[in-house]
Amino acid sequence: MADRVPTLYEWAGGEEAFERLTETFYGKVKRDELLEPVFRNMSPDHPKHVAAWLAEVFRGPPRYTEEHGGYPHMVHKHHNLAITEEQRRRWVNLICDAADDAGLPDDPEFRSAFVAYIEWGTRLARHNSQPGAHPPQQAPVPHWGWGEAPPYTP
């Protein structure tokens, strides 16, 4: 068992680390002129929900799926938001800054995998948020690993 490679979730520090990340991140969002309007009416629990999503993506417990409905719920949350590329890039920059501020591991391997998912996920969210978009309504929550994205064909 000593040779077992930890998951990204474990390496990051588990649930506490992802909750620290999202609390830090949404604190930044509330002060950001570009993203604040998008999240102005978010529930106080929103950071915890996003923490559960990220934890599940990085191979932690399936709390987001069990408590919030998994992929279909996430797709629904982005429906018709018309996220712009500028907003997507700001989201990426702020969550990367929040990862530093929240003390997530800063080794190149972890950050490479972390940023790879953030880039992939935000691009998918931008595409799926456009008016007239027809994303698949059922798909698994992606499970991210050390340097690769899981293949998925709807």
Q: Which CATH number belongs to the domain containing residue 74 in this structure?
A: 1.10.490.10
146 in any annotated domain: no
149 in any annotated domain: no
How many domains, in total, are found in the chain? 1
Per-residue pLDDT at 150: 47
Parent domain of 60: 11-129
20 in any annotated domain: yes
Over 80: is that where the pLDDT of 154 sits? no
> For the chain, what percent of residues have pLDDT higher than 90?
77
Q: Per-residue pLDDT tens for 33-82?
A: 999 999 999 999 999 999 999 999 999 999 999 999 988 888 888 888 99
Per-residue pLDDT at 1: 47
pTM above 0.75, yes or no: yes
Averaged pLDDT, 96-113:
95
CA distance 63 to 56: 7
